[in-house]
Amino acid sequence: MPSNTPSEVSVAYPRAVVRVGSTARNRRRVRIEEAVVRLFLFVCAFIGVLTTFAIVFILISESMHFFEKVSPMKFLTGTVWTPTFSNPSFGVLPLVLGTVLTSLIALLLAGPVGLITAVYLSEYASPRVRRVVKPTLEVLAGIPTVVYGYFALTFLTPLLQRFIPGLEGFNALSAGLVMGIMILPTIASLSEDALYAVPNSLRYASLALGATRFQTVWGVVVPAAMSGVSASFLLGVSRAVGETMIVAIAAGQQPNFTLNPLRAVETMTAYIVRITMGDTPHGSVEYRTIFAVGLLLFLITLALNLFSERVRQRYKGARL
């Protein structure tokens, strides 16, 4: 998608006539209008803060009800997740492992590919190549995730099954790979920004010392941009952890306690969707599991985002 900053600044002539005149009544009206508008605008801006409070409050209060019935220790360390069975077990680790597995596969694909794409775009590519690649990445970033899910299930899984015997119809591997494609634009464009911010003096100094271009890029430029690059990786992982549709469609919805990428797994997000789509009675323990799982998901992504922000700030401060 194109950026929304116009290349030229356009200025219109103010069309409306502002009421002038300094009668006391007039001034009072203007002052009241000013105060009302200011209050309204402030409320608009404050809705964001309210949203955060609401999210935190709902997740915690509903989870509290859940933890009255199930001990947090059992929740966090149990390896069997069968909340809808008649003899339920509430160990969240299979969901966590499913999330970790798919996100890790996504990062293993999107990390190296994103970094190399960024290096290529910022250090090597001709303007013509950039004009093709950048819009491609933007289009990839704009494709709805349900479309990626369809692609993983109906194209990638059958394709991989030809080469990998024993690959289940729903599996972590193809869901993770497609998720990697999904987070690739994030990693590539943020890493490119970081590489771009490395001052040219560093490149010239390295080249003047007799280093080759390859040595300059990998020995000087990439290390100098390392914190920005790591920040982009962290943000990409956070996206992958929170991604829902790809895994709900292609990874299967079975909470297996496994790190085997060929098997079906269920992530935290996919579990939330599965339960809310079913007819679990409102207020029951299994209904409240979605808020406990949601709280865990929220905390994980928040930690990743904050960490990513910190890493990026450090690199801003260290700019030469």
Residues 126-145 that bind another protein (CB under 8 A): 129, 132-133, 136-137, 139-140, 142-145
Please tell me whether residue 55 binds another protein under the rule CB under 8 A. Answer: yes
Which residue has 């600044």 as its token pair? 9
Site for another protein in 69-98 (CB under 8 A): none
Please tell me whether residue 150 binds another protein under the rule CB under 8 A. Answer: yes
Using alpha carbons, select from 292, 242, 291, 289 the residue that is nearest to residue 270: 242
Identity of the residue, 69 or 213, whose beta carbon is nearer to another protein in the bound complex: 213
Identity of the residue, 97 or 243, whose beta carbon is nearer to another protein in the bound complex: 243
User: Residue 131 burial by CB count (10 A; 0-12/13-18/19+): exposed, middle or buried?
Assistant: exposed
Please tell me whether residue 320 binds another protein under the rule CB under 8 A. Answer: no
DSSP state of 198: S
Please tell me whether residue 208 binds another protein under the rule CB under 8 A. Answer: no
String of DSSP letters for 250-293 = HS-S-------TTS----HHHHHHHHHHTTPPTTSHHHHHHHHH
First to last CA, the chain: 32
The span from the CA of 295 to the CA of 222, in Å, is 36
Is-contact 269 281, C-beta < 8 A? no
Token pair of 123 as six digits:
């250090």
Identity of the residue, 80 or 116, whose beta carbon is nearer to another protein in the bound complex: 116
Least distance in angstroms from the C-beta of 258 to another protein: 22
Site for another protein in 18-47 (CB under 8 A): 18, 20, 30, 33-34, 37-38, 40-47
Please tell me whether residue 272 binds another protein under the rule CB under 8 A. Answer: yes
SS3 229: helix
Please tell me whether residue 49 binds another protein under the rule CB under 8 A. Answer: yes
Identity of the residue, 12 or 73, whose beta carbon is nearer to another protein in the bound complex: 12
SS3 81: strand
Please tell me whether residue 117 binds another protein under the rule CB under 8 A. Answer: yes
Identity of the residue, 80 or 143, whose beta carbon is nearer to another protein in the bound complex: 143
| Listed ranges 77-85, 192-200, 243-251, 254-262: which one lies at the site for another protein (CB under 8 A) | 243-251
Is-contact 235 190, C-beta < 8 A? yes
Identity of the residue, 213 or 319, whose beta carbon is nearer to another protein in the bound complex: 213
Please tell me whether residue 226 binds another protein under the rule CB under 8 A. Answer: no
Least distance in angstroms from the C-beta of 10 to another protein: 4
Token pair of 117 as six digits:
């794409």
Please tell me whether residue 162 binds another protein under the rule CB under 8 A. Answer: no
Identity of the residue, 92 or 297, whose beta carbon is nearer to another protein in the bound complex: 297
Is-contact 233 111, C-beta < 8 A? yes
Please tell me whether residue 174 binds another protein under the rule CB under 8 A. Answer: no
Site for another protein in 299-318 (CB under 8 A): 301-302, 305-306, 309
The span from the CA of 166 to the CA of 277, in Å, is 30
Identity of the residue, 1 or 87, whose beta carbon is nearer to another protein in the bound complex: 1
